[in-house]
Amino acid sequence: MSASPKGVTLIGGGAVTAEDLSLALSLAPVLVAADGGADAAIALGHLPDRAIGDFDSISESARAALGPSRLSHVAEQDSTDFAKALSRISAPFVLAVGFSGRRLDHTLAALNVMIRHPDPPCIMLAAEDIVFRAPSRLALPLAPGTRVSLFPMGAARGRSSGLRWPIDGIEFAPDGRVGTSNQALGAVSMQIEGPMMVMLPRDCLGLALAAITGPRSG
């Protein structure tokens, strides 16, 4: 278990830029690597505070740089490195980088993990978007015209105010109705039942972080 009173940046071995990592660390200064994410972090000039995983992809040089005290080995093979790490972090929130942009199956698996492990709240940074699991109540003070996309990871429904196309009365499902490319008319509030991912432009990161970690989210 990796415990921190501050936000945690969790880095994986996918596509990640120096700008991604710097942005995440400015908000979540504790750096944890999911297995081979340690190599990505070191390549960008940052030594992780801890690495978690089955260590089938971390290099020997990264192991040596971290030392035994920073390595948390998880032997089981039935979960992804992202799941191993996220489920063992105790923190107010997690910002995940390096889990999208290369292999699509890895990205989909990471979204699945975020649905199955709602605590701590986690926001994934992608090339143009951020994505997070919708809490049961969500309030976002968005600028008019901001893109708001909803993608169900199972049967879901909800109510909304402030969206150009309200979601009230819609039955969402991965193989049915989805809610991509909606737009904010201004401040948006939603009540969601069921597993739903919210996708916003990257410049909404601060607003999203405040919304999912605040007392009104659930």
Partners of 88 in beta bridges = none
Identify the pLDDT of residue 4: 72
Of 211, 84, 189, 213, the C-alpha closest to 71 is: 84
Structural domain spans, the chain: 2-127, 133-213
Identify the pLDDT of residue 103: 78
Confidence at 179, pLDDT banded by 50, 70, 90: very high
Q: Do the beta carbons of residue 134 and residue 160 sit within 8 Å?
A: no
Identify the pLDDT of residue 215: 58
CA distance 136 to 160: 12
Confidence at 217, pLDDT banded by 50, 70, 90: very low
Identify the pLDDT of residue 2: 66
Confidence at 216, pLDDT banded by 50, 70, 90: very low
Confidence at 63, pLDDT banded by 50, 70, 90: very high
Identify the pLDDT of residue 113: 93
Each as own residue / partner, the long-range contacts of residues 77-82 (CB below 8 Å, 24 or more positions apart, any chain) are: 79/113, 80/106, 80/109, 80/110, 80/113, 81/12, 81/13, 81/34, 81/35, 81/36, 81/37, 81/52, 81/53, 81/54, 81/57, 82/10, 82/12, 82/34, 82/109, 82/110, 82/113
Q: Which CATH class is domain 133-213?
A: mainly beta
Confidence at 208, pLDDT banded by 50, 70, 90: very high
2-127 is a CATH 3.40.50.10240 domain: yes
Average pLDDT of every residue of the chain: 93
Instruction: Report pLDDT digits (tens) over 119-148.
Output: 999 999 998 999 999 999 999 999 999 999
Is the entire prediction scored with pTM above 0.95?
A: no
With a pLDDT cut of 70, the percent of the chain lying above it is: 96
